[in-house]
Every structure is written in C-alpha cells, then in structure tokens.
Chain A
Amino acid sequence: MEFLLQQVINGLTIGSVYALVALGYTMIYGILRLINFAHGELFMLGSYLAFSFIASVGLVNVIPNLFLAIVVVFILSMGLVGFTGVAIERIAYKPLRHAGRLPAVVSALGVSIFMQNAVMLTYGTRYKVYPEGIIPTMAWEILGVEITLMRLIILGIAISLMFTLYFFVQKTMVGTAIRAIALDHDTSRLMGINVDSIIRLVFVIGPALGASAGIMVGLYYRQINFTMGWAYGLRAFTAAILGGIGNIPGAMIGGLLLGVAEAFGAGYVSPQWKDAIAFTILILVLIFRPTGLLGERVAEKV
C-alpha cells in the first residue's frame, strides 16, 4: 500500500510537469492545427533562463525574500519565453499559415534544432546544475510515503496554473475568443475578433507554461542539459494525444496519467520497461479511442 501510494506521488509529480508542457501543444494545435515541435525547446529555454537568473545574475541573493525571488525568477523567465514564442510564431509560422500543414511542421522542426544549437553555443555543452539549497530540503513522512517540499511546490504550482488557464479559457471574453478561433478562423474574424492578436496571445501562454515546467524541473532535479527539450517534449506530446489533442482538460489528465503509468511501469515491472508501458497505453487508447480520452470527434472543415 505504501509502495502504491509512493508510486502515485512519484507519478503525479513528474506527470504534472508533462501536463504543463502538454498544454502548450494542445492550445497551439487547437487554434492552428499545428504540432509545434519547437515547444520542448521552449521548455528547455525556460529552464536555462531561470538558471541564468539564479546562478549568474544571482537574483536569489539580491532579493532578500526567497519567496519573492522565486516569483521574480518565474515571471522573468516565463515572460522571456513567452516573448520568444511570439517571435517564433511571427518568423517561422505566420508566413506559412496558408501554405498547408506540412511546411509549418517542417518549420517547427527547424526552429527546434536552431534553438537547441543556440542554447548549446550560448551555455556550452556541459550539463548545467542549479545551485544547491534554493528550495529548503524539507520532507515529511505521511502513511509511509516520503513527501518533500519541492514536490508539494511542483504539484501546487502546476495545478494552480492549470486551473487558472482553464478558467481563463472558459470564463473570460478573451478565452471565448480563443475557443471561437479554434472552431473557425474566418467566421471569428467576421465576428470582429482580431485573430492574429489572439494567436499571438496563445503563443505567449503556451510557451510560458512550458517555461514554468522547465524551471520546476531545474529546481527539482537541479541538472539541466540543452537536449532535454526533446525527451520532455515527446512525453508531453504523448500526454496531449492521450487526453485528446486540442482539449485543455485532456492535456492535464493525459499528463498526470502518463506520469503515473510510467511510475507504475518502472515500479512494478522494470525501469527498462517504463517507456514501453507508457507508449503501449498510448497505442491502446489510440486504437480504442482515436480522439484521445476527452477528445471529441470534430467534423473536419474542407
């Protein structure tokens, strides 16, 4: 029982990171029908920017209040990554918006390779390590399950960000506009929605959420490298598909589910089978529910 609970906690921690990254895939797919393969790299960039703010700029030492310092690091990194997201959209996707889906996907792959190399050349090839002890190492044992402060922080931040996004999309005017664009660009434009500015906004939100996940990975595992965007990007993409791509709650549930599936695979079978089990689940879902767990069959526009 303890073992099971511990594995659920292990899975939820990493799963909430997947979920945050998956939101970026799902939102951009939802409005542009584009799989943004550069999204994993935006996640990685967030991690590196926060590393710079903490280790090089020394923000944690400059600002006396630790909580405030961390908040500033999050806001700065997420903001910069959001800005990068908009820049990528403007340079790599917007000129191709009417060229069909394939050119945009190829362009996304190009951006992904470009960003990896840019980070590699800027920061060097060695693994970077976040300074020690930013988040105090506190741990509690509840029902035989070891829970650290960092895990609570990850779960807390991830869940609150996800719910904020959910309510933003469901309850506000701008959110309604996002949903409208997801259905039909041209009609939305006729209704007076500024389609381009909404797309820009989505390219701020998605990457910024990805960046927040990157920062938490940096703070938790402490070790980051310029190639990690690919591995996390792939898992998050899987999570988005699992939940039904284009569907926001789907991305959240898909992420958490994938995390727990991986933890169970590693814990009950063998760590070597971890990926195999996670991806087998994906294949099964796609066979029996091709639109993902929460996806609905949407009539294709012609």
Chain B
Amino acid sequence: MKRFVVWLCVALLVVALAGCGQQAAPAEEEEPAETLEPIKIGVQGPISGQWAYEGEGFVDAVSLLAEQLNAAGGLLGREIVVIPGDDKGDPKESALVAQKMVAEGVTAVIGSYSSSCTEPASAIYDEAGIVHITPSSTATRLTEKGYPRFFRTCFLDDRQALFVSEFLRNELKFSKLALLHDNTTYAKGLADWTKLYFEERGGEVVFFDAITPGEKDFTPTLTSVKATNPEAIYFSGYFPEGGLLAKQAKDLGIDAVFMGGDACNNPEFVQIAGLEAAEGAMISTAPLPHDLEYPEAAKFIQDFKDKYKEDPTSVYTVMAADAFRIIAEAITKTESIDPEKIAAYLRNDLKDFPGITGPINYDEKGDRLGSIHLFYRIDANGQFVAYE
C-alpha cells in the first residue's frame, strides 16, 4: 500500500511537470513573453512592528490604485502586481527587504516609512537602478546624496522646522522651548532644524536631548524638562513615544504645551496619551486626508472607504497613493518601464501633476517643491482640528 502511494505521487509529479512544459511552450510562440509579463511595483514599509499602522496604509493605498488600474486594462496593456515588503521599521531589515525587491525585479519601489529605513534601502535601489519614491521620509540628507532615481512625495524637515519655529515665535509668542527627539534620522534632523530656526528668531531652546525609542518610561527625562520650565515641549519623534510623553508629562504636572511633529499625526497618538493628556496637544504636519481640498482627494478617500471600511487617517497613506500615481503617470507618458526614462520624466517633464496632496513638482534633487504644513490642535474629543 505504502509503495503504491509513493508511485502514485511520482506519477502525479511527472504529469504535473509535463503539463507545465506544454503550457509554457505555446505562449512563447504566439507573442514575446516579455510584453505579457506584469509590471512589478514594490511597496516597502513597516507592515508589522510599532509603525504597522503606517505600513499597512501604504500597502492598502497602493493595492487599491493598482486594482483600479488593472480593472481598466493595466499600464501599457500589462498587469500591475504590487509586491509588499515588510521591513518592520528596522534599518537592518530594510536592507534585506531592498535586496529582496531587487531580486524580484521590480520597476519601482514606494517606501519606506521612516528616514532611518529609507536611507539604507535607497543606496541599494540606486545601485540596482530602480526608481525609488518615499511617501514619508522627510530627512533632508536623503536627497543630498544625489541618487538620480530617488524622489519623495512628502515635504522636507527643514521646511516643517521653519514653519514650526515661525509659528511658535510669531503666533504663540513663545520664547522658551524644550526639544526632544529620538535619534532617528528624521527626528534628529527635524529637531536640529527647529533649534536652528527657533534660535535665529530670538527664541531660547532650554532643553535639547534624545529619548530611546521603544521605551515606555520617560519620567526621568520629563522631570529634567520640567526643571527648565519651558513654554512648550516639541517632540520630533514618532507617535508611540509621543503619546507616552504627552501622558507622562501630564502625570508629572508639566503645564507646557505638548507639541509633536508630523510623525505624531496619527489617531493612535491620542489613544496612547489618553483624551485627558492629548487635549490641547498640537501637531505640526501636512494636512490630514480629510482636510485636503483637491478633487482627487475626495475621490481617493471615497474609494478607500468603500474598499477598507475606514478612512485613510494618515496623510502618508495618501502620499503613498500619490507616489504610485506619479509612477503610473510616468510609465504611461514615456510608454516604457525603463527606470532611467521614468526618472527623467519625473525630474524634467512632470509639471503640476494633480496629486491627491496638491500639485506635484520636483526640483533637481528629487525633492517636492512647496510646503503645505499646518498645525493641528487636539480637542476634547480627541479629534485633530486645524489651528487657524
């Protein structure tokens, strides 16, 4: 009996292999196999781990748009396949994911979320000659390396820092600021720029130091902050720590205004901090999806809601969608999936592309022109309300 089963398995295997061979053969005869191959677009991001919320958003947004394009016949008559890569928000994993993407033969990659992850990946994509667009990594130094196929759909740290400093000095008339970052590429950059601009405008930075991401207890640091008596605490790191800091600052009886950078722009910030501590916190960021006034935004948000039964609440979900849309645009216009042509198109020929997040234009470094930053204030119900 056992022997019979073994032989049966072998027989089935032979038949299956023979079948594969037969199927492959006629396809080659009819048409060159190349043109039928799907176009692969990689989406790299923290699909698990502490920033999973953002990584899931990337994949959801890009999958949605790819599905719509495929339903309409694909790009250049070819199907689009989205290849997700989970880097867990860890720079080491990021390099592995990038190598995997290169091995998969993707045309372009959207990602990763944090600047610390995008940095190692961008070097690998540059070497492999792949178009790389990050929706959310805002550290200025990423584009200073001069990679010819690297772009972003988000706006830079230094512009956000300038906006924050002017707002603090001119609108709120604050002169004593405590700055906290978490030593990640993005947070350190944003904190450094803010310090520079705030001091240029005559303000005083009374506390400047880094916390360790992933920790839960920041009371010792906040006790030091309290001793310097600042009018505001600006934290340039990410929402998991941002929420904890806001809560523990409240617990310690600090009455300075708690402020966060765009990486705190996330409903989980409020959940972690709790309504009581989150109320009154201010977040500087690109506008939330529902505050984007462009017609493309309304359509995207509606489609997203229909498919996933929830609103895209992070602006980076939308930025990822925009990254995909400009890649699709470049492929259509150049009628090619050659990364060189796509990159050249984006850099030189893309003018006022109607993005979900507003018009998209690139400077010679691959940075998006303009700035659309806003301050949001969290109200008593935990809602982000644009500060007028």
Q: Do A267 and B221 have beta carbons less than 8 Å apart?
A: yes
Residues of A within 8 A of B211 (CB): 271-272
CA distance A124 to B49 in the complex (A): 9
B1 contacts partner chain A, Cβ-Cβ < 8 Å: no
Are A132 and B251 neighbours in the complex by a CB distance under 8 Å? no
Which residue of the partner chain A has the closest CB to B47? A125
B residues 248-275 with Cβ under 8 Å of A? 251-253, 268, 271-272, 274-275
Interface residues on A, range: 35 or more
Complex Cα gap A140–B212 (Å): 28
B223 at the interface (CB under 8 A from A): yes
Q: Does B11 contact A (CB under 8 A)?
A: no
Residues of A within 8 A of B (CB): 3, 6-7, 10-11, 13-14, 120, 124-127, 129, 132-133, 137, 139, 141, 146, 148, 150, 217, 221-223, 225, 227-228, 231, 262-267, 270-272, 274-275
* B50 part of interface (Cβ distance < 8 Å): yes
Main secondary structure of the interface of A (DSSP, over half): helix
Question: In the complex the two chains form, is A221's CB within 8 Å of B48's CB?
Answer: no
Known: A231-B215, A262-B220, A270-B209. A222 touches B227 (CB 8 A): no
A206 to B243, CA, bound (A): 31
Complex contact A231–B274 (CB within 8 A): no
Q: Is B315 an interface residue (CB 8 A)?
A: no
Given A125-B49, A133-B274, A272-B240 contact (CB < 8 Å)? no
Give the interface centre of A120, A124, A141, A146 by most chain B CB atoms within 10 Å.
Answer: A146
When distances are taken between beta carbons in the complex, the residues of chain B under 8 Å from A231 are 214-215
Bound Cα distance from A15 to B244, whole angstroms = 18
Number of A-B contacts (CB under 8 A): 96
> Contact: B217 with A223, CB < 8 Å?
no
Whole-angstrom CA separation of A265 from B53 in the bound complex = 33
Contact A129 B268 (CB under 8 A): yes
Please provide the 6 A-B residue pairs with the shortest distance between their CB atoms, ordered closest to farther: A266-B220, A125-B48, A263-B220, A10-B219, A271-B221, A221-B216
**Does A6 lie within 8 Å of B274, measured CB to CB?**
no
Q: A223 near B220 (CB under 8 angstroms)?
A: no
A221 touches B209 (CB 8 A): no
Question: B311 contacts the other chain (Cβ, under 8 Å)?
Answer: no
Nearest CB of B to A124, in Å: 8
Interface residue B70 (Cβ < 8 Å from any Cβ of A): no
B276 within 8 Å of A (CB atoms): yes
Residue-by-residue, is B217-241 near A (CB-CB < 8 Å gives 1, otherwise 0)?
A: 1111101100100000000000010
B247 touches A126 (CB 8 A): no
Judging by beta carbons under 8 Å apart, are B212 and A146 in contact? no
Task: Kindly identify which residue among A124, A223, A264, A275 contacts B272, using a CB–CB cutoff of 8 Å.
Answer: A223
Q: In the docked arrangement, what's the CA distance between A20 and B214, Å?
A: 21
Return chain A residues, CB-CB under 8 Å to B214.
Answer: 227, 231
Q: Is there contact, CB below 8 Å, between B272 and A271? A: no
Interface hub of A7, A132, A262, A264 (most chain B Cβ within 10 A): A132
B183 sits at the interface (CB 8 A): yes
Q: Which residues of B contact A271 (CB under 8 A)?
A: 209-212, 218, 220-221
Q: How far is the CB of B251 from chain A (nearest CB, A)?
A: 5
Query: CA–CA, A257 to B99, complex, Å?
Result: 45
Contact at A221–B224, with CB atoms within 8 Å? no
